[in-house]
Amino acid sequence: MKSSAVLSVGCTLVMTLAAIESNAEKIPTTVETLVIYGSQSDQWKLTRQSIVNTPADFSPGARLDPAELLMAIPGVQVDSRTNYAQDTRISLRGFGARSAFGVRGIDLLVDGIPMSTPDGQGQLSSVMLDTVTSAQVLRGPLASLYGNSSGGVISLQTAAPGQSQLSVAGTGGDQGLERYQVQGDFRHGDIALRGQFADTRVDGDRPHSAAEREQGALQLFYNIADDLDLRIKHEQSDDPLLEDPLGLTPEQWRVDPWQKNALAETYNTRKSIKHRQTSISLREQGGTTRWQTSLWQGERDITQYLGFSGDGISGSGGVVDLARDFAGGSATITRSAAFFSMPLELSVGAEVARMEDRRRGYVNNLGIAGDLRRDETGDVTSRDVYSLVQLNPLAPLTVYTGVRRTWLDVDVDDYFIVPGNPDDSGARDYREHSYAFGGNYQLDNQWEIFASTGRGYETPTLTEMAYSANATGLNIQLQAAINRQHQWGLQYQQENRLHVSLTQFMIDTENEIVVDQSVNGRTSFRNAAETEREGVELFARISLSDQWKLQASAQSMQADYSAGQWDGKQLPGVAREQYQLGVEWLPLRNKWLQLNLTAQQRSRIFTADNNQVAAPGFHTLDFSVQGEYVMQSWGIDWWLKLANLSDENYVGSVVVNQSNGRAFEPALGRNFSGSVKITHRF
């Protein structure tokens, strides 16, 4: 379906659903809200250009994959892979599609605390997703005000415990999945505490794909005064063994998607991770002047054995040993005032962040670390200032404008200087700015139109600057990618019962950062000339009655190179079309029994810039049943899920521009899982 078709269908659907709503039965619901706590002012949620999912919208699951929280949010492409050694691959309107691991080009926040480093790297594998109460996705020009690599924003939020309780849960499923969780909540007056621990074991569906993970978190919530809140959080994640089954060639995948990659066993490819992070946030949210400030600090240690020896003296080895320290702080103040009798809100803020990577590389002697091949320290420091102004010249009209300035410094010191391997030290400074302006107009109590435009930027990450193709030394030739985004849309919303939005967007990017080549785990990057992305997104969330709820999204996006060697080619890693549909049925008109049916369809994805090889499109169907029972002070929550009902053989993720051809990562076939949680309230 082309963009024009989606646009036409969307307009028709908006009108039709509005008519349905006017005759629908009134259903009492809780209005969804989200406060981005910490690094940004809560006034930055000024528009409805974002989509928010709450637990009622989350897909049942073991909470090991953020895809379960992002169901039916348009613009988001989540490539779930059967490989826990590589993080879930997330892209948003094409931003981040080049990433072979982790998340690039998208700002990740948990309770307002960045999960992205100053240079734009990020991941959610260390986050305990069990207590997330909302997942917000902000798309479009406004996201650029969140800083470097903010092609979009994914913000996860937790809430303070409402009462004291203790819960234990167990999850099991195919692929030898076992997960056990204990959570304790304490509430007394203005103080609340939450402690969590989870232990996960997975055998894996492919040979050499087992995983072990232990996670723990402790949170303190303190309401110091009526409008003054304090939040302190410490979390740890220990992954002692994450086996990497490696990718397959298209030919191997067609013959047997579950076959082993011989290199995985030859070199015993695997990863271990230890992640620790502590944060503190303080917020004053009452009165005409409001402020908030946050501090965070953490360490992340990674050891990874790759699928080659890496014994070349000028290489970086086949074993990665990385110790990362990161820290930062931010502060924002917002003032409500009047400008010639027009309501005005002004927010100003600053943020400082730093990361230090101590990286070593060793020869992989068939799964044993050998001689040193890399020894360096990389530092990235960012300093940001930002401001946002909102004005209401008319009661139904809100206009806004914002700007952000970033000073980002990259410095690498090389200590492995031997004959055949010269000094690869280097430094590069980036000075960039972003801006956005736009407005919303409330046509009546339900209808709203919005439009915005802006400029954003994305600097290369420290990892992406590490190698130069066919050369040695830091890749200081990489420029920051500059994007200019434009979007407009129409929205209809009736309380929390009916929400339909239709958005059209256009994105032009100069110096797009793309994969140059990927050989034996050594990936280099370059700047493409230009790219163009344009598309249409449709979203609908409908409560048809007190028994039926529907959630759907459709996206049609054309993402192509617009100049240079690959002019006219489609960006690799990006699906041109994506559709999602979820249907929920409460046969007893309560939470004792709920049946869910979710469907997804996605078009093909090219694996490289030359568009010669593509992972075929696919469609999947999942069925789940769940229930919630409360008996005095006891509660039982359970769910059962049968995923990929048709047992379709499809590629869950691709490795972009993989020179060895092993770019396909198979998704799970038909699989079954379930969980039971018992809670005692005090």
Q: What is the DSSP string of 492-509?
A: EEETTTEEEEEEEEEEEE
Query: Cα(524)–Cα(477) distance, rounded to whole angstroms?
Result: 12
**What confidence tier does 58 reach under pLDDT thresholds 50, 70, 90?**
very high
Query: Cα(440)–Cα(45) distance, rounded to whole angstroms?
Result: 13
- The mean predicted confidence, pLDDT, of the chain is 88
**By the 8 A CB rule, do 274 and 280 touch?**
no
Over residues 94-135, the pLDDT tens digits come to: 998 877 677 888 999 999 999 999 988 888 889 999 999 999
Q: Which residue has the tokens 């200032």?
A: 385
Q: Domain range spanning residue 354?
A: 3-681
pLDDT of residue 30: 25
Domains identified in the chain, total number:
1
pLDDT of residue 40: 39
Asked if the model's pLDDT at residue 44 lies above 60, the reply is no
**Mean pLDDT (whole number) for 328-352:** 94
Using H for helix, E for strand and C for coil, what is the string for 417-466?
CECCECCCCEEEEEEEEEEEEEEEEECCCCEEEEEEEEEEEECCCCCCCC
**Mean pLDDT (whole number) for 630-634:** 93
> Tokens in use for 653?
């993720």
Give the whole-number percent of the chain exceeding pLDDT 70.
91
**What confidence tier does 314 reach under pLDDT thresholds 50, 70, 90?**
confident
Q: Over the Cα atoms of the chain, what is R_g?
A: 24
pLDDT of residue 6: 44
pLDDT of residue 49: 67
Phi, psi dihedrals of residue 9, rounded to the nearest 5°: -60, -40
**CB within 8 Å of 371: residues ≥ 6 apart:** 311, 362, 363
**By the 8 A CB rule, do 474 and 428 touch?**
yes
**By the 8 A CB rule, do 354 and 319 touch?**
no
The residue type of 386 is: Y
pLDDT of residue 289: 93
> Tokens in use for 103?
């998340």
Please report, for residues 81, 173, 263, 465, 536, the alpha-carbon distance to residue 260 in angstroms, rounded to integers and kept in the order given: 15, 22, 9, 32, 40
**What confidence tier does 33 reach under pLDDT thresholds 50, 70, 90?**
very low
**What confidence tier does 522 reach under pLDDT thresholds 50, 70, 90?**
low
**Mean pLDDT (whole number) for 472-485:** 87
The distance from CA 72 to its chain's CA centroid, rounded to whole angstroms, is 14
pLDDT of residue 105: 87
The distance from CA 250 to its chain's CA centroid, rounded to whole angstroms, is 27
Please report, for residues 587, 605, 622, 638, 640, the alpha-carbon distance to residue 625 in angstroms, rounded to integers and kept in the order given: 11, 32, 10, 8, 5
Query: Cα(554)–Cα(73) distance, rounded to whole angstroms?
Result: 9
**By the 8 A CB rule, do 241 and 212 touch?**
yes
**By the 8 A CB rule, do 159 and 133 touch?**
yes
Give percent helix, percent strand, percent coil of the chain, each to the nearest 5. 5, 55, 35
Asked if the model's pLDDT at residue 519 lies above 70, the reply is no
Query: Cα(566)–Cα(168) distance, rounded to whole angstroms?
Result: 54
Q: 554: domain CATH number?
A: 2.40.170.20
